[in-house]
Structure 1
Amino acid sequence: MAKSKFSEYLIRMKCSECKRVNYYTRKNKKKVERKLEYKKHCKWCRKHTVHKEGKK
């Protein structure tokens, strides 16, 4: 199987309150070792909450 030339991976962003996956983003695993955390709007909670990197 051919090796991918990209070092970025698609990851899921889960709401910390309702645990739903609302966003997808890319992450360069060679440069960023910590888990991503963003404050974004959740359409189910209807407010801004912390979204954390979820499992695959």
Structure 2
Amino acid sequence: MSRAEVHTTFLEDLAEDYHRNTHHLIARNCNHFTTDVYNHFTGKPTPRWVNRLARLG
């Protein structure tokens, strides 16, 4: 994908799922967004340590 395609297709579609009013410090934060991006581009789950603190909270 070109840089423009990434921005106009994937990121804009993903942004619809991440609004300010859906943010939650523990359950839906920037790490969850990053996890969605990582999974999309690698097809692999993110390492378990990425959201470890959120799961413990």
TM-score by length of 1: 0.28
Higher strand share: 1
Give the structure, 1 or 2, with the largest relative contact order (CA under 8 Å, sep 6 or more).
Answer: 1
